[in-house]
Structure 1
Amino acid sequence: MQNSSVLLRVLGALVVGYIFERLIRSALSPLRAAPGPFQARYTDLCISDPEALNTIYGHGTRFAKSSWYDAWVPPNGWNLFGDRSIQRHANTRRQLQSTYSMTSLVSYEPYVDECTEIFSQRLSEMSTAGTLVDMGHWLQCYAFDVIGQITYGKRIGFLDRGADIQGIMSAIENGLAYGTLIGIYARFHRVGFAVVNFLAGKKGAGREYIVGLSTTRIAEEQENRKIMASHSENLTIAEPFVSKFLAKYEQDPEKFTMQHVLAGCTANLAAGSDTTEQLRAEIAGFQQQGSLSSSFSFKETQQMPYLQAVIKETLRMHPATGLPMERVVPEGGATISGYFFPEGTIVGINSWVAHRNAQVFGADADEFNPGRWLISDGDKLAAMNRQWIPFGMGSRTCIGRHISTLEISKLIPRIVRDFDFELLGGGAKNSWATQNVWFVKPRGFQVKVTAREPERRYKETKGI
């Protein structure tokens, strides 16, 4: 008991000292005149000025990622997301970019169609059984199986069982929580990383567990490539990412190392009313014209203006990441929004803040309104597009954004056409809880799903 009392006193003294130090620094800071909430003086700076976006994140800027990102990288290691080196990140991204281009990804549509078919089948089964559907969970199952098939050429199996296969989901959830919290105190990362992985055993914890699974899959693919090399037949399906990465490695192992192969595969796995009736009306209209196939090809969906407006507005209202994208002011300092920030200052913009800016999106910025993207005012549209950053901005834009776009564009019209959804869980009506650990994920997203009768869908298609 005496030791515990001493420990508590020591911790208390450290906390008081830390608060006192922040108070002194705030009082003397050259940024004390910068506008913002009083509490923001004692935390990292989050900026909402639209003009600051290009200054901090635009192509060619020298604002490197902050130490918060260290916790997302193994000590003495690197990956594309957490790499703080501007030059190394640029070199790595150049080598991976072509694989993630939309031109390349459309060849994977059959994989997406297969997963969409299974997902629709599961919704039909749960509709028939009268089972409430946790849409957050099942959409994640769908996303994991799509990315598993694109990356490794075969589904992981989430959609088959509706369960957390091999503990992948929980490992990623734990990794997100670790990176989000330990990143605030990045100096403790080396010790924290060693402790959590020691406690987890030889399989590792969080992202390291996913690295282990990726390593196994890569080894399997290397063996498959040896077997295929002895056969002359050509592949008739899209080549999975792991095979493309290994081909790059075999061609030039010094430039595209095995770490590049592992980083690419691991990043894929670790990293988804009236409006409904309007969208259904658009779908029916395109079907009447014979402009839509049953599987909704990506090319077809790009010609559907209301669908694209719904997707864009949804990503504005609920962007995937919910923390500031921290950057470090480069040598010599920088003027942002009329204030000079000394070099080394950590600054950032939160997409949730940027997307609710009434100066850009109007007085109804807090409301879901797909119509805002269908206006004819070119200047206003350009301003909104500049402020729309669900996948980041500049050289650090999410490299997998086209995978998300492909999945969303094909899945949403399919399930909206075939099912009715009624939100039931999560507290107040028409709401649900969320958890923010870098990614903002729904919790308690319980939905009643009802399959729409084929006869009704047929009448809509025929305009009856």
Structure 2
Amino acid sequence: MALGTLASILSSGPSSDTLWSWTALPVGLVLLCLLYEIGWIIYCRVWHPLANVPGPFAASISRLWIAASVASGRAEHVQRMLHQQYGPLVRIAPDEVSVADPQAIKTIYSIKSGFTKTDFYPPFAPNISLHGDHFTQLDETIHAERRKYVNSIYSMSTILESEQYIDGCIDVFLDKMAQVARQGKEIDLGEWIQWYTFDVIGELFFGHQFGFLRDEHDYGRYIESLDTLLPGIALSCVLPAYIRPLHSSLGMLFSTIRDSVKGFDEIRAAGRYWTNLRQQQMQSGSVERVDLLDKFFKVKEDKAGWDVQDIQNEACVAIFAGSDTTAIAIRSILYHLMKDRACMDKLVAEIDDFDSRDLLGKPHIRYAEAIKMPYLVACCKEGMRLHPSVGLGMPRHVPPGGATIAGRYFPAGSRVSINAAVVHYDQSVFGQDAHRFNPDRWIDGNAAAMDRHMLHFGGGSRTCIGKNISLAEMHKLIPEFLRRFHVELTDPAKEWKTQNFWFNKQTGIRARVRARQRGQIALGLSGGVPSP
């Protein structure tokens, strides 16, 4: 009986009522979603607290606009254009405003501002230690407490205790440049600069050079790993937190995202490797000298809340951020000097003058000597102003009670960000020629006021912890390089290319190097380079 009834139903086919019930549900869901989207758009455009902040329509209703901007690798160019069009406040997401008012730097980023980091930062986390790392830790109290553990390790005085090891890297770099000069070869100068900065990290943190310069290759595929992981991380940072797991899961279908994940895994593995290797060396008594890794282990002895995973975190972050940021800065300085021969000639003349008066050490220029050259310091600041190493905004939550920024009140919880690559072009601070490379502005202008409005190392309690390493590397390498060699672009009319995925990396700096006669010092100083 039951089988007969079932056969009858199947043979008669679905009734019109059945068809309606099958189609009503999906149609209803589509209509519901459509109504929700219409309601969301109306809310964002009319009732949202940021509704009257100008900006692209698409940005006001969805974070997909900022995601597309970041994915393009040209977010800083887009933001500069938008601020020229709309003014100091531009809505770049439904809940976020980009700020281009230099006075807002103190309001948002000063130590006691009360503004806190948003959920933009966790995708950068190595996730090795339960305590997190200095950069991605969102809790300000925990961040302040844990940064105290290592602040002295990153002080300039501590870094300069290892100055001779930076000199060792410079020696290898100069020897390689001498070979290049003799051969008359064209080189990718940007690549050589990154090899130098990576080898310095190896010396300072792990007790020896990695061998980038010596072997002229990407040791451990660290550079390749960074280049593949950053686009994926940068995109994840600007997506809503609830979408990130979906982005990661679906992203595994695409080779670029898989490469990004693999790249991060390799950087994490490197941090663990060097830390574990040092533990073994300490146990066997084969540690040859004191370096930063050794100092981190001493913190472990003194602080109960500091463990091996925290040291692995520091090692991972050093590899992740210690090279790219400094290499970007040095590239910018040398590139702009090569583009403007008058500025290059003026700097070389200053170096020669100091050299002729025995104010520069031989065979190595001390950091303390380098920073006494005013035009050199001006060139370094100007290079970092025009092209800061980080090219995206640094978002913060407005604190309880709200805040007034650029003449507008922002309620608590609003997201605001300043992009150094935008605010560094402000004409009210840096002059009408803010778009030009002009080191003299730091000598003839109000240098103190300009310094207050520079964000190339971040600001307040979140200032880049490795700032002093970067400053030492650039102020030592550049004058040493230029007192020995003449360097020029092979095609001065050709512009470099940049890709901005948080670190705003430049490529295409093709150059030729030849030895100088005046001030030239005998090379061949590097000797052997310790094997990794």
Q: Same fold (TM over 0.5)?
A: yes
Match of 2:497 in 1: 433
Distance 1:31 1:418, change over 3 A: same
User: What are the equivalent positions in structure 2 for 1:43-62 lying under 5 Å apart?
Assistant: 43=93, 44-62=96-114
**Residue in structure 1 matched with residue 300 of structure 2 by the alignment:** 249
Amino acid at match of 2:101: D
| Distance in 1 separating the partners of 2:35 and 2:173 | 53
Contact 1:74 1:193 in 2 (8 A): no
Q: Secondary structure at the match of 1:457?
A: coil
The residue number in structure 1 matching 2:274 is: 217
User: Which one-letter code corresponds to 1:457 in the other structure?
Assistant: G
Counterparts in 2 of 1:14 and 1:446: CA distance versus 1, 3 Å:
farther
Distance 1:246 1:458, change over 3 A: closer
Q: Specify the code of the residue in structure 1 equivalent to 2:263.
A: G
Q: Is the Cα contact below 8 Å between 1:83 and 1:89 reproduced in 2?
A: yes
Cα separation, partners in 2 of 1:222 and 1:194, compared to 1, 3 Å:
farther
1:195 Cα shift? 7.6
**1:139-288 map, 5 Å:** 139-185=193-239, 186-190=241-245, 192=247, 205-228=262-285, 237=289, 239-252=290-303, 254-271=304-321, 272=326, 273-288=341-356
Partner of 2:476: 410
Q: Could you give the per-residue CA deviations for residues 9-36 of structure 1, whole angstroms, max 9, x where no partner exists? A: x99x989976983564033233344465
Secondary structure at 1:277's aligned position in 2? helix
* Letter matched to residue 65 of structure 1: K
In 2, are the aligned partners of 1:70 and 1:189 still within 8 Å (CA)?
Answer: no
Q: Does 1:332 align with 2:401?
A: yes
Contact 2:187 2:512 in 1 (8 A): yes
Amino acid at match of 1:135: L
In the TM superposition, residue 226 of structure 1 has moved relative to its aligned partner by 1.8
- Determine whether 1:111 maps to 2:168: no
C-alpha contact 1:145 1:159 (8 A) present in aligned 2 = yes
Q: Tell me how far apart the structure 2 counterparts of residues 211 and 194 of structure 1 sit (CA, whole Å).
A: 20
Change beyond 3 A, Cα 1:260–1:14? farther
| Cα distance, 1:458–1:440 mapped onto 2, change above 3 Å | closer
Which residue is 1:390 aligned to? Answer: 456
In structure 1, the gaps of 5 or more residues are 1-9, 460-464
Tell me which of 35, 40, 49 is aligned to 1:30. Answer: 49
Count how many residue pairs are aligned between Structure 1 and Structure 2.
435
CA shift, 1:431, in A, is 1.9
State the identity %.
32
Aligned-partner residue type, residue 223 of structure 1: Q
2:352 alignment partner, SS class: helix
- List runs of 5+ in structure 2 lacking aligned partners: 1-28, 55-82, 327-340, 522-532
Aligned to 2:423: 354
**Alignment partner for residue 131 of structure 1, among 171, 174, 185?**
185
Normalising by structure 1, we get a TM-score of: 0.86
What is the TM-score normalised by the length of structure 2? 0.76
Q: Distance in 2 between matches of 1:119 and 1:442?
A: 20
Stretch moving more, 22-31 or 55-64: 22-31
Give me the CA root mean square deviation: 3.0
Structure 2 CA distance for partners of 1:423 and 1:22, relative to 1, 3 Å: farther
Partner Cα distance (2:51, 2:317) in 1:
39
Larger radius of gyration: 2
Find the residue that maps to 2:360 and give its secondary structure.
coil
Deviates more, 1:27-36 or 1:16-25: 16-25
Q: Give the 3-state SS of the residue equivalent to 1:307 in structure 2.
A: helix
3-state DSSP class of the match of 1:359?
helix
Give CA-to-partner distance per residue, 1:146-181, whole Å, 9 cap, x none. Answer: 011101001111111221112111112222212211
Alpha-carbon distance in 1 for matches of 2:35, 2:314 = 44
